[in-house]
Structure 1
């Protein structure tokens, strides 16, 4: 699986939209901490990281139907976790309403919304874009 940094913003937004994920809060600077999967001319998968030291928000994991169940999602999560470690983040949080079991297999655990750090709670994804009944999950990163 070819994982690469900073996929094209236009391709990323196209993929996120096709997968039904929010894009209204994404600004060009967000894509500095995004990873792509597939060929750089044809984005097959995507994941992003918002940094809110000392924690991070894993966001926008999207994979096309054509590469699902081939390891792209798992490779993207491993890549974003490595990026988070390189940024000296200690914990990753995420919200999902479709992939809780996938993230559980990767070591994420469900937590109560009110236990999430304020910096993460204040993101648009957490506060307004994801539904209140979305699963909130976290993973402590090893150093």
Structure 2
């Protein structure tokens, strides 16, 4: 079932940090500048879902997908990911990567495939997420855009 909520660009930094901390996801590297490539659903002052993308030429890193527990299973996560993928594609990305410890099946059902960490492009390997913010046990997935 598709979500009836609109997806907006540029959430407030403090709202992103709050949602990420609630989900025990990394926040240490996020700045206000990153928010231009983040998207949210729900009220501007109290988003119920967020996702971000970091762009590195033809590569992109999807990060920080969070949907509040009570709003899951209604298509909101899928809508947020689709919007982030569209944004990456519009900015010239050909492949999008991600690291996850909890949502591998969610992303696999959206055509992401397991990818060897050794094959990660240098720009992706150099991100704080890849280099240490995300545990080494995280699944590394990719998708051609």
- Length-normalised TM-score, structure 2: 0.95
> Runs (4+) of structure 1 moved beyond 3 Å?
none
Which runs of 5 or more structure 1 residues have no equivalent in the other structure?
A: none
Counterpart of 2:14 in structure 1 is 10
User: 1:26-55 CA deviation, whole Å, 9 max, x = no partner?
Assistant: 111111100001121220000001111110
1:76 aligns to 2:70 (yes or no): no
Q: Report deviation, 1:81.
A: 0.6
Which runs of 5 or more structure 2 residues have no equivalent in the other structure?
A: none
Please tell me whether the aligned partners of residues 7 and 34 of structure 1 are also in contact (alpha carbons under 8 angstroms): yes
Please tell me whether the aligned partners of residues 2 and 39 of structure 1 are also in contact (alpha carbons under 8 angstroms): no
Aligned-pair Cα RMSD in Å: 0.7
Counterpart of 1:138 in structure 2 is 142
Counterpart of 1:111 in structure 2 is 115
Structure 1 CA distance for aligned equivalents of residues 35 and 8 of structure 2: 12
1:29 aligns to 2:33 (yes or no): yes
Q: Report deviation, 1:9.
A: 0.7
